Amino acid sequence: MNEEQTWVSQAQQGDDEAFTRLVETYQTPVFNLCYRMLGEPELAEDAAQETFLRAYQHMHRYDEKRPFATWLLSIAAHYCIDKLRRRKFSMFSMDAEDDEGNTFELPDPDSPNPEGESIKGQTRDRVHSMLKDLDETDRAAIIMRYWYDYSEKEIADSLRLTVSAVKSRLHRARKELAGLWQEEEDDLLAEMERRHHESPAF
Amino acid sequence: MNHQPFESWLLDDKYLSATEKRELDSHLRDCRTCSALAETGLALRSAKVISPAAGFTMRFQQRLAAQKVAERRRRLWGLIVLIVSGVGLFSWFAAPFIYAFISAPIEWLTAATGYFLFMFTSLQAFSEILRVLSRMAPGFVSPYALMVMLSTFAGLGLIWVVSIWRFSHKPQGVTA
């Protein structure tokens, strides 16, 4: 039995300290999934906390044959999907604004040279903002596939879908993202052309 | 080669041989759809994992503690409501009897004594019947049949005890 299995087993017997160790271990993957799903750090924090609370309350349901991370991410994904569905008809902005309309930026602790990272950052932001246009379940499938390297079978188990459904959802989502990417490139080119024509030197 | 296999390679994240890579590169120069697919694939693969702000575990512990307090409070209120409603319901049903008892206690005491006497004599008669039957039974019932009957009763008792234990120890409505 490895360390994680010991913690899980102790947590199932009501050991809060063991569960805290699990929270420490999995806080980043769970938070990242929630952030990619919901788009805003505050919502992601709340969803990640709620995920761990649900996991704590339902530890007795956890099947030890399944990897703990998969079970945890499955709870997080379902929570985020439900949250997004409930908010579907209300206004939803990925521009990271708080209640007073102030914008905030996510700190990037691993970035020693912000200027050098800007192009990479822009690409990442593009992907992040494009994710919001995907269907909730497709989004969860894409996140699990590309951020967590989950196989189609693992995604199917986590999202309670068939493997073929996961495959078709991944294809559809990838095509949709590519379409959006292409549209943005076209807009960017058009904008550059317009500026070029409007410049005094022209 | 037409567009379809390249699109499938990109969508399936297929591992490509050197020749296939060259063919794909050449196709990407002409096909904007596949080019966008390849670029989004790269962007997705290079996307970073975002960590929560420092102190996540501490915030979780605070939230868990608050949740436990709320849960305890909810249970306490539930118990209070249950007790109060139980007492209220009992009072509502018992009020006419209590009122009648208070207004005519002798009648009630006589009736109650009669009832207890009836119960006592019935139990006595029942135990007498059982004693007679136990004396007569060996004459009618074979020891083998008696043993089967006793075993059946013991088995049923055991099933009952195990069922009670399972219902009280295993959470219900839970799937793995």
The pLDDT value recorded for residue B108 is 80
- Domains in chain B: boundaries: 3-46, 59-103, 107-139, 141-176
Say if the Cβ atoms of A31 and B174 lie within 8 Å.
no
Which amino acid would we find at residue A148? Y
The pLDDT value recorded for residue B68 is 92
- Give the residue from A31, A40, A155 with the most B CB atoms within 10 Å of its CB, the best one to mutate: A31
pLDDT tens readout for residues A169-192: 999 999 999 999 988 888 888 888
pLDDT tens readout for residues A41-78: 999 999 999 999 999 999 998 988 889 999 999 999 99
Say if the Cβ atoms of A31 and B51 lie within 8 Å.
yes
- Give the residue from B45, B60, B69 with the most A CB atoms within 10 Å of its CB, the best one to mutate: B60
Domains defined along chain A, listed by start: 3-198 (1.10.1740.10)
Closest alpha carbon to A74 in A86, A61, A87: A61
Q: Which of A27, A124, A185 sits opposite B56 (nearest CB)?
A: A27
Residues of chain B below pLDDT 70: 1, 168-176
Helices B32-46 and A118-131: angle between axes, nearest 10 degrees = 100
Q: Which of A60, A107, A182 sits opposite B32 (nearest CB)?
A: A182
Q: Please name the residues in contact with B122: beta carbons below 8 A apart, sequence gap of 6 or more.
A: none
pLDDT tens readout for residues A131-142: 988 999 999 999
Q: Is B45 on the interface with A (CB under 8 A)?
A: yes
- The secondary structure of chain A as a DSSP string is --HHHHHHHHHHTT-HHHHHHHHHHHHHHHHHHHHHHH--HHHHHHHHHHHHHHHHHTGGG--TTS-HHHHHHHHHHHHHHHHHHHHTTS----S-B-TTS-B-----TT-S-TTTTHHHHHHHHHHHHHHTTS-HHHHHHHHHHHHS---HHHHHHHHT--HHHHHHHHHHHHHHHHHHHHHHHHHHHHHHHHHHHHSTT-
Question: In Å, how far is A61's CA from the nearest CA of chain B?
Answer: 5
Closest alpha carbon to A174 in A162, A186, A182: A182
Per the structure block, which two tokens stand in for A75?
């709870």
The pLDDT value recorded for residue B175 is 40
